[in-house]
Amino acid sequence: MAQQGVSAPVYDASSIQVLEGLSAVRRRPGMYIGSTDARGLHQLVTEVVDNSIDEVLAGACDRIEVTLHSDGSCTVADNGRGIPVEEHPKYHRPTLEIVMTVLHAGSKFDRNTYKVSGGLHGVGVHVVNALSEWTEVTVRRDGHAYFQRYERGAPVAPLKVIGPAEGTGTTTRFKPDGTVLETVTFDHDTVERRLKELSFLNPGVAIRFADERTPSEVTFHHAGGISEFVEDLNTSTNPLFRPPIYFHAKRDTTDIELALQYNDGYNETTLAFVNNIHTPDGGTHVVGFRAALTRTLNDYARKRGLVKGDKESLTGEDVREGLTAVLSVKVLEPQFEGQTKARLGNSEVKGQVESAVNEKLAEYLEEHPAVGQSLIVKAVQAAQAREAARKARELTRRKGLLEGGGLPGKLADCHSRNPAECELFIVEGDSAGGTAKQGRDREFQAVLPLRGKILNVEKARLDKMLQNEHIRSLITAIGIGIGEEIDMARLRYHKIILMTDADVDGSHIRTLLLTLFYRKMPQLITEGHVFIAQAPLYRVQKGGKFQWAYSDDERDRVLAEFGGPKGVTLQRYKGLGEMNAEQLAETTMRPGARTLLRVTVEDAGQANMLFQILMGEEVEPRREYIQEHAVEVTNLDI
Ligand code: 0RA
């Protein structure tokens, strides 16, 4: 039944409860959205969009529109059923107001079984509301448009009808509150990536993304679902077969969807989702998938005589070389574990996924023997390379022992033996290396200069990599080993700092090093040990005073501060080698004075794609990428 402006006065017992709830959220936002940095901010968008996705999952919505506005607010509009506006049976207020202000609106309003909201992120839209300067919601239902505005989570006026409406849907516009969040500037690419991902996972919905700040607009609609997702991830690779293997199965109450394809490279990309939520740390669904893949390919290979003997001779690593897969499961009551809640814990899911993949993959291989053959040939080659790498590693180890201590000759090590305070500067070129050695604090700062070309690890297997002198020096200096044998307890420096020139060569070397770490020592990045040093681009001097500028914008600011370019000496630094030791120390190396960028992997799929594009075989996408992102590449912080 339609209601027209029927809310009771705002200050009764239940609304006091509401206000207490909101202030709890505002006091400790991190408890609800994980953090108050950029990640937490984007969680707000995800939260609102997930509510619309629930309407998609309920079969009630096929269009979502997300807009980033110039005033810093964000609108999410859907054509779902609209948040109910009728009086809530328990709170005796419009349900919309309850959904916007109270924790979990109640089971009567649970919309469907595998909902996204209520899972990992499903703290509820009231949290978004509480953390926003203001929120405006418009609901179209029963021929009316209803509207309510909130400030810092509390309604400023009763729900009212603002006119007639066609169709149904919900529009939420919110402006994140800078007094409780550290950052309130939405990142275009982060939002776009998440929306694109959701459109692959929910092929029934078209998602339009508009950014009025740019301005730009794009619509994602991927009727091909996760199969198209895999093709997209493999865009800049050479797939071994087309289209990807795809299946959908059900085991008990768990719904399992898998798409996979192999390319001729050596890396694995598996993206796993539970109820549309990305689980970068894997969990029982991924364990089940991997077990089934290894078992099925071994069975198949043995049956065809492609692998001999009784024991399994293809390892998990072997069968995952060149694999790109998207696994999407829907679980009734997902339990998320780990510090970032990014791993699925439900033990029953392992067996369910394993059984489904065993059955469906075997069936597929029976029907597609040519594909089966190509997969096995690839995995057998991987097994041979693994054996060669083991021998090469053994050789390196023995050589290291013979040479005594084994630390590389080029390394200028620090005195301290406490890894937690030690830093390793990896510097491009012998001359900058020399300057860095003079400028460092030798108590805790070590310097390793690298010269010339470093091997492109994207195109090489482990055995070949270990023949490269630079890579061997790096491995021994860092201390943790490489590949499957990593031991983080042996890390010799807790900060590994890449210090390269701000030119094309510098960014190339940096990308190569990051690729090496990302591929072969991923723990270094995921545990936050890798940094990029920011060297200044300019020194601005006027009379007796001077200032460093680390970007063109900063240079202009400093110039303005100094009263314009008149009488100013502007010195541009092209390379680290142009600074003397004291300058380098003062601007780039000394704690307290320097700026370090910590390297993070925000999104495995995205980073992986970037590395493939920058380092892979296909030249054309790389050229396009570099042209499009010429500015960012110089400041890459993957
Ligand atoms: C509760 C119940 C129903 C729909 C919704 C909530 C709903 C919430 C959001 C949030 C954003 N968009 C939304 N669309 C719907 C079902 C109502 C019914 O059965 O008519």
User: pLDDT digits over 193-211, tens only?
Assistant: 999 999 999 999 999 999 9
Q: Are 350 and 287 in contact (CB under 8 A)?
A: yes
pLDDT at 303: 92
Q: Which two tokens stand for residue 531?
A: 């940094």
Distance CA 56, CA 52 (A): 7
Q: Specify the residue with its C-alpha closest to ligand 1, atom 18.
A: 81
* Alpha carbon nearest to ligand 1 atom 1, residue: 109
What pLDDT was estimated at residue 510? Answer: 80
Top pLDDT among 609 and 493 is at: 493
Q: Which residues contact 478 (CB under 8 A, 6 or more apart)?
A: 424, 491, 492, 493, 496, 521, 524
Condensed to tens digits (0 to 9), the pLDDT of residues 137-195 reads 999 999 999 999 999 999 999 999 999 999 999 999 999 999 999 999 999 999 999 99
Decide: 79 in ligand 1 pocket, CB within 6 A: no
Could you tell me which residue, 534 or 179, shows the higher pLDDT? Answer: 179
Question: Who contacts 75 (Cβ-Cβ below 8 Å, separation ≥6)?
Answer: 65, 66, 67, 69, 171, 172, 173
CA distance 325 to 226: 9
Cβ of residue 65 lying under 6 Å from some atom of ligand 1 = no
- 533 DSSP β-pair partners: 596
Cα-to-centroid distance, 462 and ligand 1 (Å): 52
Gap from CA of 85 to ligand 1 centroid (Å): 10
- Find the 197 Cα to ligand 1 centroid distance in Å: 22
The tokens describing 617, both together, are 């075989």
Would the CB of 109 count as within 6 Å of ligand 1?
yes
Residue 214 near residue 172 (C-beta atoms within 8 A): no
- What is the DSSP secondary structure assignment for residue 588, as one 8-state letter? I
Q: Whose CA is nearest to atom 12 of ligand 1?
A: 52
Above 60 in pLDDT, residue 457?
yes
How many angstroms separate the alpha carbon of residue 84 from the centre of ligand 1? 6
pLDDT above 70: residue 455: no
- Which DSSP category does 264 fall into? S
Task: List C-alpha distances in Å: 408 to 412, 473, 479, 517.
Answer: 9, 5, 11, 18
pLDDT of residue 386: 85
List active site positions.
428, 501, 503, 505
C-alpha distances in Å from residue 228, one per residue of 78, 433, 441, 570: 24, 47, 52, 52
Instruction: Return the best residue to mutate from 50, 54, 172 for the ligand 1 pocket (most ligand atoms within 8 A of CB).
Output: 54
d(CA 203, CA 274): 16
267 lines ligand 1 (CB under 6 A): no
Test site for ligand 1: of 109, 110, 168, most ligand atoms within 8 A of the Cβ: 109
> Measuring from atom 6 of ligand 1, which residue has the nearest CA?
83
Cα atoms in the Cβ-side hemisphere of radius 13 Å centred on 291: 14
Q: What is the mean pLDDT of residues 606-630?
A: 55
Is 170 a pocket residue for ligand 1 (Cβ < 6 Å)?
Answer: yes
**Predicted pLDDT of residue 69:** 98
Rounded Cα–Cα distance for residues 600 and 526 (Å): 7
Mean pLDDT over each residue of the chain, to the nearest integer: 86
Residues 168 and 489: their CA atoms lie apart, in Å, by 57
Using a 6 Å cutoff on CB, does residue 324 contact ligand 1? no
Kindly tell me the burial class for residue 259, based on how many C-beta atoms sit within 10 Å of its own C-beta (0-12, 13-18, 19 or more).
buried
Ligand 1 atom 10 nearest Cα: 51
Amino acid symbol at 302: R
Q: Residue 52: CB within 6 Å of ligand 1?
A: yes
Average pLDDT over residues 109-128: 63
Atom of ligand 1 nearest to the CA of 141: 20
pLDDT in tens, 420-450: 999 999 998 878 899 999 999 999 999 999 8
Q: Which residue has the higher pLDDT, 507 or 100?
A: 100
Distance CA(197)–CA(225), nearest Å, equals 10
Q: How many CB atoms lie within 10 A of CB 488?
A: 13
What is the spatial distance between Cα 250 and Cα 356, in angstroms, rounded to a whole number? 8
Q: Which domains does the chain have, with CATH numbers?
A: 13-222 (3.30.565.10), 226-385 (3.30.230.10), 407-535+597-632 (3.40.50.670)
Q: Is the CB of 168 under 6 A from ligand 1?
A: no
Query: Quick one: which H or E segment has residue 195?
Result: helix 188-201
Q: State residue 144's pLDDT score.
A: 98
The answer, yes or no, to whether any atom of ligand 1 lies below 6 A from the CB of 228, is no
Distance 219 CA to ligand 1 centre (A): 23
Contact 574, 502 (CB under 8 A): yes
Ligand 1 centroid to residue 140 C-alpha, Å:
11
**How many residues are recorded in the chain?**
638
Q: How many CB atoms lie within 10 A of CB 184?
A: 19
Write out pLDDT tens, residues 318-337. Answer: 999 999 999 999 998 899 88
Looking at residue 16, its pLDDT comes to: 74
Ligand 1: centre distance to CA 133 (Å): 24
Residue 544, pLDDT > 60, answer yes
Confidence of residue 346 (pLDDT cuts 50, 70, 90): very high
Over 80: is that where the pLDDT of 1 sits? no
Q: Whose CA is nearest to atom 2 of ligand 1?
A: 109
C-beta of residue 597 within 8 angstroms of C-beta of residue 531: yes
What are the structure tokens assigned to 323, written together?
């694999």
* Amino acid making up residue 288: G
Q: How far apart are CA 330 and CA 216, in angstroms?
A: 33
Mutating to test ligand 1, I would choose from 47, 49, 81, 95 the residue with most ligand atoms within 8 A of its C-beta, which is: 81
Contacts of 631 by beta carbon, 8 Å cutoff, 6+ apart = none
pLDDT tens digits, one per residue of 395-410: 766 665 444 457 888 8
The reply to whether ligand 1 has any atom less than 6 angstroms from the CB of 318 is no
User: Quick one: residue 328, left, alpha or beta (phi over 0 = left, psi -120 to 50 = alpha)?
Assistant: beta
Q: With pLDDT > 90 as the criterion, what percentage of the chain qualifies?
A: 59
Q: Identify the bridge partners of residue 539 per DSSP, sorted by sequence position.
A: 548, 571
- Report the distance separating Cα 22 and Cα 131, nearest Å: 9
Question: Cα of 94 to ligand 1 centre, how many Å?
Answer: 13
Q: Say yes or no: CB of residue 271 within 6 Å of ligand 1.
A: no
Q: How far is the CA of 11 from the centre of ligand 1 (A)?
A: 26
Q: Are 159 and 19 in contact (CB under 8 A)?
A: no
- Within 8 A by CB and 6+ apart from 268, the residues are 320, 321, 322, 323, 324
- Mutation to probe ligand 1, out of 111, 129, 144 (largest number of atoms < 8 A from CB): 111
Query: Which residue from 505, 496, 492, 501 is spatially nearest to 597, judged by alpha carbons?
Result: 496
Which residues have C-beta within 8 Å of that of residue 142, sequence separation ≥ 6? Answer: 1, 2
pLDDT on residue 118: 42
For the ranges 136-145, 259-268, 513-522, 575-584, the lowest mean pLDDT is seen at 513-522
- CB-based contacts of 126: which residues, under 8 Å, 6+ apart? 21, 22, 25, 99, 100, 101, 102, 103, 153
Q: Quick check: CB of 80 below 6 Å from ligand 1? A: yes
- How confident is the model at residue 307, as a pLDDT? 85
| Percent of the chain's residues with pLDDT above 70 | 85
Give the pLDDT band (50/70/90) at residue 25: very high
Amino acid (one-letter) located at 296: T
DSSP per-residue codes, 197-263: HHHHH-TT-EEEEEETTTTEEEEE--TTHHHHHHHHHTTTS-BSSSS-EEEEEEETTEEEEEEEEEB
CB 106 near ligand 1, within 6 Å: no
pLDDT at 271: 95
What confidence category does residue 633 fall into, taking pLDDT thresholds of 50, 70 and 90? very low
Phi, psi of 170 (to 5 degrees): -130, 135
Q: For residues 177 and 152, is the Cβ–Cβ distance under 8 A?
A: yes
380: closest CA among 482, 464, 324, 312? 312
What's the mean pLDDT in 274-280? 90
Ligand 1 centre from 139 Cα, in Å? 10
Tracing tokens 């994980």 back to the chain, one arrives at 34
CB 51 near ligand 1, within 6 Å:
yes
Which is nearest to 336 in space by CA: 34, 600, 24?
34
Does the structure show a pLDDT above 80 at 624?
A: no
Q: Could you give the angle at the alpha carbon of 321 between the alpha carbons of 317 and 323, nearest 5°? A: 115
Q: Which residue has the least CA distance to atom 14 on ligand 1?
A: 82
Q: Name the residue with tokens 């937490």.
A: 40
Return the minimum-mean-pLDDT range out of 391-395, 488-492, 550-554: 391-395
Cα distance between residue 129 and residue 133, in whole Å: 8
Angle at Cα 565 formed by Cα 559 and Cα 566, nearest 5°? 135
Find the largest Cα–Cα distance for the chain: 86
Write down the pLDDT at residue 397: 64
Query: How confident is the model at residue 360, as a pLDDT?
Result: 98
CA of 243 to the centre of ligand 1 (A): 37
pLDDT number for residue 225: 97
Structure tokens at 609: 């794609």
> Residue 20: pLDDT above 50?
yes
12 — pLDDT class (breaks 50, 70, 90): low
Residue with tokens 């953090």: 35
Does the beta carbon of 7 sit less than 6 angstroms from any atom of ligand 1?
no
